[in-house]
Amino acid sequence: MKTNMNGMVECSVCHSKLVSPSAKTVSKAYDRHRNDISLKTRAFNIFLVGGDCVLVGLQPILVYMSKVDGSFKFSPISVNFLTEVTKVVFAVLMLCFQARHQKVGEKPLLSVSIFFRAARNNMLLAVPALLYAINNYLKFTMQLYFTPATVKMLSNLKVLVIAVLLKIIMRRRFSIIQWEALALLLIGISVNQLRSLPEGSSAMGLPVATAAYLYTLIFVTVPSLASVYNEYALKSQFETSIYLQNLFLYGYGAIFNFLGILGAAIFKGPDNLDILRGHSKATIFLICNNAAQGILSSFFFKYADTILKKYSSTVATIFTGIASAALFGHTLTINFILGISIVFISMHQFFSPLSKVKDEVQNGGMEMMKTQHNFRSKDASFVDMAAGAHDEASHRVEHDERTPLLPL
């Protein structure tokens, strides 16, 4: 067998091509973790999905409650900055806790040399930090023109963009059934969005259709790119403590948001330097919710999968829609009910064992080829042994060979 540049393994006998399971790896440490399918790992993934559903579902509600007369009395950048500071404090506390409970022989987490070495190896985290800073501001902008349930359904479009980015950046493979599930997800979102905006309305002076397409494009592309880069950065340094990686990620995020505050103060006035101006109890809950959601997302990206993270967010759409209808009187249309039903069907199809049949067949083919190769090796050895035995049995004994070695 030989492997070409595309990661395909070609059999030297039948010339059939199979995809090598090790064609692209993020890190050896993550590969060992990915092969762990214990009950503890599954329970941890269920905990991640459940927590993510609650936090993501509450986020649009809290943002909507933070509006006064249809607008924000506080600076959205200040909320993002305080959120990043909260996450930095949490990462520092968890690092100190983890350092106090280290086992004998482990490298000290609070060592200066280890800290700077980890900072150098995790510089790629600055990219998703910048993209997240932009995305966090877009969340508030979207809430000014769309209902919470609509924003949640629009954010589900990120799944398709993330799948494409994972295929390009991380060489992730998806079966045909999984691609069909993602297409079905798009259909479900489109069904929900039919007649979701009143005709003739406008946003920022642009026709509503143009503004909706523009905001949706940015709102979907930027966080999707951030999620993929974040997953790649965290998993490429899998052996580094996640709290240390979070410290770098949130530190970069705090710096970028602080630069945004300075920019707002320059262009809009020095009042924007007051990061506590216009805040209320709802914004305090919003900051805590955003911080918890960001921390949970880092565990998703490092120990689970970005697709699982985004699919779990779609489950929160039901919670968001029902809560917004109960609290704010928003109507749950038949489009929303049909759309979320299609989304659940898509989710079941994507994670169904049938969607992985192709991979299993290919992996089974690899094992079969390996087994056949071993059988051929054993058969060749057996033939050699049989031939040797035949030669020995048919070996003609000469006269001098019958002569005793020792004199009688």
Farthest-apart Cα atoms in the chain, separation: 122
Element containing residue 210 per DSSP (H, E) = helix 208-236
The pLDDT assigned to 205 comes to 46
Residue whose entry in the numeric block shows the structure tokens 């790119």: 225
The answer to whether residues 187 and 339 touch, using CB atoms and an 8 Å cutoff, is no
What would the two tokens of residue 174 be?
Answer: 């998806």
The pLDDT assigned to 44 comes to 84
What would the two tokens of residue 196 be?
Answer: 């979701």
The pLDDT assigned to 76 comes to 79
The pLDDT assigned to 33 comes to 57
The pLDDT assigned to 317 comes to 72
The answer to whether residues 342 and 186 touch, using CB atoms and an 8 Å cutoff, is no
Q: What is the pTM of this model?
A: 0.71
How confident is the model over 227-284, as pLDDT tens digits? 999 999 999 888 888 999 999 999 999 999 999 889 888 888 888 788 888 888 889 9
Q: What is the mean pLDDT of each run of 10 residues along the chain (408 residues)?
A: 50 53 54 65 84 84 79 81 94 90 76 88 92 80 66 70 88 88 81 57 49 73 90 89 93 92 86 84 90 92 85 74 77 82 85 65 46 49 49 48 47
State how far the Cα of 146 lies from the Cα of 152, in Å rounded to an integer: 10
Residues near 117 by beta carbon (within 8 Å), at least 6 away in sequence? none
The pLDDT assigned to 357 comes to 47
How confident is the model over 313-364, as pLDDT tens digits? 777 777 777 777 787 777 778 888 888 888 888 888 888 877 774 544 444 4
The pLDDT assigned to 292 comes to 94
Element containing residue 408 per DSSP (H, E) = none
Which amino acid is present at 79? V
The pLDDT assigned to 90 comes to 95
State how far the Cα of 209 lies from the Cα of 192, in Å rounded to an integer: 16
State how far the Cα of 331 lies from the Cα of 325, in Å rounded to an integer: 6
DSSP per position, 112-124 = HHHHHHHHHHTGG
Which amino acid is present at 215? Y
